[in-house]
Amino acid sequence: MRDIEKGRPRQQRRDILFAVAVVSISVVLSSLSIPSKMVVTRALRNSVLAPFLSVHQTWQERAGLRDRVARLQTERNELSLSVITQAALAAENARLRSTLGVPLAVPDTFVVVELVPGRPIIGDSHSFLVRSGLDSGLDAPVGVGTWQGLVGVIRSLGATSGYGDFWTHPDFRVGAVVEGSDATGIVRAQRMETGEIMMLLEGVPFQSTVADGSTVVTSGEGGIYPAGLRIGTIAGSADTATKSGWSRSYIVEPGVRPGQTTVVLVWVRNDG
């Protein structure tokens, strides 16, 4: 730290040129489309940053091992119960369809992929990477979720990885319906006064009644998300008592929060 005056070139014009050049490159980078940004990000993550990411992954796997085992056991028990219930329902459904002469519905298909959430040094990430299992003819944009609910949307897909936004992203929107009601609307992220991010169901027709605790699912409109994927549950009205107009808004407790899952299901659109 001594002798700092030595070896300091004072070529101000060259310095300014360097600075202008790198700031210009940065401006170009920041204005690139998501797929182009992903190319840069992927190249750096697969080269210079690969050793660090490998270390992080090892730590993450070891640190959360006990919690993950406990969570997996809980999930397995819940899924077992669900499968038992669903099996009886499926049999009854098949019998009724057969009686009525209606063909069996084709269930949605999903691909299991690994999700790597973004971790900016300040604030929360609204973005994620997905890896593996992407060789199944997927097209972006496409919704991703877990059995617990909607996670987000993949915006761009490469050969081995994809880049997407969590539902907390400011640009995220999804068409929704409330189960057991005729209420429909659009769901987006909403930061509450406490700082917590919840979902907001907007544009629900004024005459529709929605009870607290009702389940909100995707409507399937637009073909990005499968119909019937759970989004969350109604936590209360977002309108004031004197609200009037054509529509209502509701706060929705999300089914899945970013960071809660590292494995997601990507919907495979049945274009046929």
In the complex, minimum distance from the CB of residue 26 to other proteins, in angstroms, rounded to a whole number: 4
Question: Closest CB to other proteins among 14 and 71?
Answer: 14
In the complex, minimum distance from the CB of residue 27 to other proteins, in angstroms, rounded to a whole number: 7
105 backbone dihedrals φ, ψ, rounded to 5°? -70, 145
Structure-token pair, residue 16: 């300014």
For 20-40, the DSSP string reads HHHHHHHHHHHTS-HHHHHHH
In the complex, minimum distance from the CB of residue 153 to other proteins, in angstroms, rounded to a whole number: 15
CA distance 57 to 62: 9
25 is a site residue for other proteins (CB under 8 A):
yes
194 is a site residue for other proteins (CB under 8 A):
no
Question: Closest CB to other proteins among 65 and 96?
Answer: 65
Binding other proteins (rule: CB under 8 A), the pick from 122, 244, 246, 271 is: 122
Buried b (16+ CB within 10 A) or exposed e, 227-239: eebbbbbbbeebe
In the complex, minimum distance from the CB of residue 217 to other proteins, in angstroms, rounded to a whole number: 28
Query: Radius of gyration over alpha carbons of the chain, in Å?
Result: 24
Binding other proteins (rule: CB under 8 A), the pick from 62, 99, 119, 159 is: 119
125 is a site residue for other proteins (CB under 8 A):
yes
The three-state secondary structure class of 99 is helix
Report the DSSP pairing between strands 174-178 and 184-191.
antiparallel
With CB under 8 A as the contact rule, which of the stretches 30-38, 72-80, 219-227, 238-246 interacts with other proteins? 30-38
30 is a site residue for other proteins (CB under 8 A):
yes
Contact 229, 150 (CB under 8 A): yes
Binding other proteins (rule: CB under 8 A), the pick from 93, 108, 118, 147 is: 118
Binding other proteins (rule: CB under 8 A), the pick from 110, 111, 113, 128 is: 128
11 is a site residue for other proteins (CB under 8 A):
yes
Determine the angle formed by the axes of helices 34-46 and 50-63, rounding to 10 degrees: 80
Structure-token pair, residue 260: 């809660």
Q: Which residue in this structure is represented by tokens 């190319």?
A: 39
Q: Which residues bind other proteins (CB under 8 A)?
A: 1-4, 6-12, 14-19, 22-23, 25-32, 37, 40-41, 44-45, 48-49, 52-53, 55-56, 59-60, 116-123, 125-129, 163
